[in-house]
């Protein structure tokens, strides 16, 4: 019996199909980005990473501007959009009014991660 699925549907069904949430950050008050606030933000990020909330994160690099001045992106693991918003709103950058963000739902379909572990040296490399 032939499947009712189209070839495209069959290909998509075999992909990861993992729903994630993307915070597209935009710096709106750069003067608020003091060393103290940046430290709070980084500690918050590290805590979220350790809890498994952050899939990936980092600043956009804009030539001629300091790191972070061009905004950034954080990909969150959350059960739904409301949880993702609740997480994003606790970022010290957002809470201080230095950064605003747009939240997008993203479906991770393709890609890969390579990990090399050398037993003799105990060193590993992500690539």
Per-residue pLDDT tens over the stretch 1-60: 557 889 999 999 998 899 999 999 999 998 999 999 999 999 999 999 999 999 999 999
The continuous run of DSSP H or E covering 84 comes out as helix 81-89
Residue 39, judged by CB atoms within 10 A of its CB (0-12, 13-18, 19+), counts as exposed
List Cβ<8 Å contacts ≥24 apart for 5-14.
12/109
Residue-wise pLDDT for 64-117, tens only, equals 877 777 899 999 999 999 999 999 999 999 999 999 999 999 999 999 989 898
Biggest distance spanned by C-alpha atoms of the chain = 65
Quick check: 70 and 27 in contact, CB under 8 A?
yes
- Residue 62: which pLDDT band, with cuts at 50, 70 and 90? confident
pTM for the full model?
Answer: 0.84
- Give domain status of residue 49, yes or no: yes
Q: What is the domain extent for residue 109?
A: 7-126
The mean pLDDT value of the chain amounts to 92
Residue 1 counted as domain residue? no
Residue 101 is part of a domain; what is its CATH number?
Answer: 3.30.70.1060
- What's residue 117's pLDDT? 87
Q: Which two tokens stand for residue 115?
A: 């990990």
Token representation of residue 28: 């709106």
If one counts the domains in the chain, the total is 1
Asked if residue 99 belongs to a domain, the reply is: yes
Whether residue 2 lies inside any domain: the answer is no
Please give the structure tokens belonging to residue 64: 């001629």
User: 58 near 73, Cβ under 8 Å?
Assistant: yes
Would you state the pLDDT for residue 64? 86
Does residue 123 surpass a pLDDT of 60?
Answer: yes
86 inside domain: yes
The answer to whether residue 17 sits within a structural domain is yes
Q: What pLDDT, on the 0 to 100 scale, is given for residue 2?
A: 56
């Amino acid at each position: 019996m032939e499947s009712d699925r189209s070839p495209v549907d069959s290909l998509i069904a075999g992909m990861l199909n993992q729903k994630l949430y993307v915070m597209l950050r935009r710096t709106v008050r750069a003067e608020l980005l003091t060393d103290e606030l940046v430290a709070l933000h980084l500690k918050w990020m590290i805590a979220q990473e350790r809890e498994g909330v952050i899939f990936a994160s980092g600043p956009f690099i804009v030539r001629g501007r300091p790191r972070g001045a061009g905004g950034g992106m954080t990909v969150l693991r959350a059960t739904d959009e409301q949880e993702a918003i609740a997480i994003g709103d606790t970022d010290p950058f957002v809470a201080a009014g230095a950064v605003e963000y747009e939240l997008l739902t993203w479906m991770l379909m393709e890609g890969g991660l390579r990990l090399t572990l050398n037993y003799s040296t105990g060193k590993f490399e992500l690539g």
